[in-house]
Amino acid sequence: MENSTKALELKSILDKLRPINKEQEDRIMQKFRLDWNYHSNHLEGNTLTYGETKALLLFGITAQGKPLKDHFEITGHNEAINWVIDVVKGDYPLTENFIRELHSLLLKEPYEVDAITPDGKPTKKRINIGSYKTSANHVKTKTGEIFYFATPEETPAKMYDLLVWYNEKILEKLNPILLAAEFHYKFIRIHPFDDGNGRTARIIMNFILMKFGYPPVIIKTQDKDNYFAVLQLADAGNLESFLEYIAQNLIRSLDIMIAGANGENIEEEDDLDKEIALLEQRLNFIGEKSEKVKSLLVIKEIFDLTIVHLHLRLFSKLSKFDVFYLNKEITVEIENKILGTKYYYEGIKKLITENTNFINFKTNFKNFKNIGFDNFDYESFVSFNFNILSYTVIFNKDDIIEKPYGTQLTDSEIDKILKSEVKRHKEFIEQKIAEKESNL
């Protein structure tokens, strides 16, 4: 039991460094908690990435396009972990009530999953929380054989026996590493709940370890095959391989905690990847990501697919105000050139270069028709500005929409621009009328 022996030696080193500075210990435990939440759920098929998991737990940011159930799994698992971290500080015994309460925190609320009836027909199965299974949850192996867990009828007695065994081993002062690992395995062999057995087993294992002053074991998702392989070896009678595997993973956690206690860096090789993933997730929540940079091709693409489309619709809307004015002048400004309508639209496109920074469209309404008003004009202005990674549309004087290259204005965004320009012009005329009426 080489790994178990080494873990005991590292635990002795860790004990000599205690008490650990509170801020440093909190930082260590935050790393464990985030890793634990991500990996334990991902092992069971949760689709949230590490960055999405961290963004959810630290900032409350939900992952776009991911199932709501996956978010509930993460937050429920985190609540269960926080509860265990809290109760482990006191003399809280491991009992069946403890396990059922833990399961309730983990799964949060009942739900339904797809299932197959004994005669092979699809059906729905209700997953209850905090209570033992009411139907069989045996699984079919890769070879087509059925692997049998405890039946619903056997489960209460087997769970009772498991807790009796645990308390006997506590009195015998069994090595806590072996106790925690073997409890994990025995619990999995019973599979007492309809769902969440793997996550519950790993939380209880870590509760036992933390109760004896060890850090939690994190089974990493990229090591999933090895984890399941040693569980299968235990099923075949080789429990020692599973116990050594848990001890091996505990060594990594002990190394991290010792480094943290010494004030050293606790980052692992893949932690930078995790932080990059978190930054990407937070940026995705804030705005769109640009996959292209400014070029002649992308500017012309924006011109063809967005600018012309917007301007045609804008011109049509603004034309309704012609009844109020004697004249109207439409101009386009591209760089330092001011162009009249004779250039539309192919003529304007020919002037676009990779260095074009803006294209401005102006509609000048001149000479208000009604007698009795001071002569006034009105200008509608929409500007397209081309940056390195994005283009912006400025309208209504200072409203801005920013889009990454390769994406076009949506219909709703175009409608927003049109409504804004129409509203501004209408309110301008209403203001002129109100001023005149107040002087009558």
pLDDT tens column, 104-134: 999 999 888 877 766 667 888 888 999 999 9
According to DSSP, the residues that pair with 339 across neighbouring strands are: 332
Distance CA 303, CA 306 (A): 6
According to DSSP, the residues that pair with 393 across neighbouring strands are: 384, 401
Q: Which residues, 6+ apart, have CB-to-CB distance to 171 below 8 Å?
A: none
Model pLDDT, residue 203 = 98
- For the chain of 440 residues, list the mean pLDDT of each consecutive stretch of 10: 92 95 93 95 93 90 88 95 93 94 94 75 86 88 79 96 97 95 97 95 97 96 92 93 95 95 82 62 59 90 92 90 91 84 77 92 90 85 92 88 91 92 91 82
pTM metric for this prediction: 0.65
Contact 132, 193 (CB under 8 A): yes
Question: Could you confirm whether domain 2-286 is CATH 3.40.640.10?
Answer: no
Model pLDDT, residue 138 = 82
Distance CA 14, CA 259 (A): 9
Model pLDDT, residue 271 = 64
Model pLDDT, residue 422 = 92
Query: Which tokens is 428 given?
Result: 């301008």
Integer angstrom CA distances of residue 354 from 289, 350, 387: 21, 12, 11
Distance CA 409, CA 175 (A): 65
Contact 156, 218 (CB under 8 A): no
- Please give the backbone phi and psi of residue 332, each rounded to the nearest 5 degrees, phi first: -125, 135
Burial classification of residue 289, based on how many CB atoms lie within 10 Å of its CB (0-12 exposed, 13-18 middle, 19 or more buried) = exposed
